[in-house]
Amino acid sequence: MISRVNNSMKPIALAKPAVSYPCFVHGGVQVASRSRVLPEETPIALVYDGSTEAVMMATPTDLEDFAVGFAFTEGLISELGDMADVVVAHSESGIELRMWLARSRGAEYRQRRRRLAGPTGCGLCGIESLAEAQRALPPVRNGTTLCSRVITEAANRLIDFQDLHRQTHATHAAGLYRPDGTILVREDVGRHNALDKLAGSLVRAAIDPVGSLIVISSRVSIEMVQKAAAIGAEVLVAVSAPTALAVRTAEMANITLVAIARGQSFEVFTHPQRIR
């Protein structure tokens, strides 16, 4: 797969992940002026074979990861070889991620093409049917067991690698954590986008999630479980609570769902046999 950046449309200022804005701080009877670093939010169009599949509001970082990860978790590709080319095209109105699928995948895409437009963190906008919202997931494989210490370490280490959140206090993160302490993290204003970016980074680097876990900084909705299942993660850890539907979906997908992982405590909702 070839990845390129195209800025030839016209000279523009490329979007930054965060910008500083002045504000007034009210504290009791005192008012002080200061500056606050805020995360950027940019319209990003995901374009496959010339057709726009989605327009998402996202942080303009790790764009190739986002392009590949969204295609992967949405089922448009199953491996990196299914995508022939990616061009990141910047314009005054936003960013286009222009992707060309391999011939066989392109034919499949044209048959199933659907449109959706999503605000920040919206993962189900524009689907074609109610059945698709709760589509059946192939169960992930078995083979991973983790000690409880790894769960708490993962949640705590994720915080250490949230550089953009440390600046802005307004972004989400998703990470792949290995028992040896290594972690790969992606951030975004949208929790779904952060997980898509992580998925893309794994696909592009040919990283197998077996023996690892995915940890996210947000609540667990059904879409997060669906994306974790697409990645093949056996264990999904979140710092916040899950929805009831997310728990039922994780149960059916054979995913160990761990939530409310804070400090030294956490709660296991499904398939507890993987946690020693």
Q: Give the residue numbers marked as catalytic.
A: 122
CB-CB contact of 44 with 63 (8 Å): yes
Residues 6 or more apart whose CB falls under 8 angstroms from that of 269 comprise 242, 247, 250, 257, 258, 259
* CA separation for the pair 73, 1 (Å, rounded): 18
The label of the residue with tokens 């992940």 reads 17
Helix (H, G, I), strand (E, B) or coil at 117: strand
**What span, in angstroms and rounded, lies between the C-alpha atoms of 40 and 54?**
19
Q: Please state, in angstroms and rounded to a whole number, the distance separating the CA atoms of residues 196 and 5.
A: 20
At residue 257, φ and ψ (nearest 5 deg) are: -100, 115
Contact call for residues 62 and 38 (beta carbons, < 8 A): no
Burial class of residue 122 (count of CB atoms within 10 Å of its CB; 0-12, 13-18, 19+): middle
Chain mean position to CA 133: 18
Sort residue 263 into left (φ over 0), alpha (ψ -120 to 50) or beta.
left
- One-letter amino acid at 213 equals L
